[in-house]
Amino acid sequence: MPVIANLNGEEVDLAEGTTVADVVARVCVSDRGVAVAVDREVVPRSDWGRVRVSEGARIEVVTAAAGG
């Protein structure tokens, strides 16, 4: 059964058991410079593979950008 979540403002269907690491792999080419919050709580990188996305979760994936 799919899990419906909000990813960076867009509703997405995710497989049951999807982790934060799976979400990052889905939206980023590399996980360098990436930060993730689920329901407004930052998820430490060391927990990405353990934190599962629940129904209705609000996930924000942001990347650092260099420039000047």
**Which residues lie closer than 8 Å to 51 by C-beta, 6 or more apart?**
19, 20, 38, 43
Does residue 18 have a pLDDT over 90?
yes
Task: Kindly tell me the sign of the dihedral angle through the C-alpha atoms of 47, 50, 61, 5.
Answer: negative
- Could you read off the pLDDT of 28-62 as tens digits, one per residue? 999 999 999 999 999 999 999 999 999 999 999 99
Kindly state whether residue 8 falls inside one of the protein's structural domains.
Answer: yes
Does residue 66 have a pLDDT over 90?
no
pLDDT for res 68: 62
Residue 43 is part of a domain; what is its CATH number?
3.10.20.30
Kindly state whether residue 15 falls inside one of the protein's structural domains.
Answer: yes
Domain that holds residue 29: 3-63
Who wins on pLDDT, 28 or 68? 28
Kindly state whether residue 22 falls inside one of the protein's structural domains.
Answer: yes
Average pLDDT over residues 59-66: 90
